[in-house]
Amino acid sequence: MAVPKRKTSPAKRGMRRSADALSAPAYVEDKDSGELRRPHHIDLKTGMYRGRQVLTPKSDA
């Protein structure tokens, strides 16, 4: 069984754990509608992505 030869230093341990922190999800303002949406995601109300119509928009029926 593998056993560490040296104790892991607090600095090295902190570097390893730096990716474990939770961050709030990012939102950007939509150019057309002005609403907040996630970056790199399709706007489900309009069906637009990067200025192109990707999906048919959802109807309010």
- Tell me the per-residue pLDDT of 11-25, one tens digit each, with 9 for 90 and over: 999 999 999 999 899
Q: Which two tokens stand for residue 52?
A: 């192109």
- Centroid of chain to Cα 31: 19
Spatial distance between the Cα atoms of 38 and 48, rounded to a whole number of angstroms: 13
Q: Judge whether 56 lies within some domain.
A: yes
Residue 60 confidence class, pLDDT cut points 50, 70, 90: low
Structural domain total, the chain? 1
pTM: 0.54
Residue 45 confidence class, pLDDT cut points 50, 70, 90: confident
> What's the one-letter identity of residue 3?
V
Q: Judge whether 14 lies within some domain.
A: no
Q: Judge whether 34 lies within some domain.
A: yes
> What is the residue range of 30's domain?
25-61
pLDDT of residue 32: 80
Q: Judge whether 3 lies within some domain.
A: no
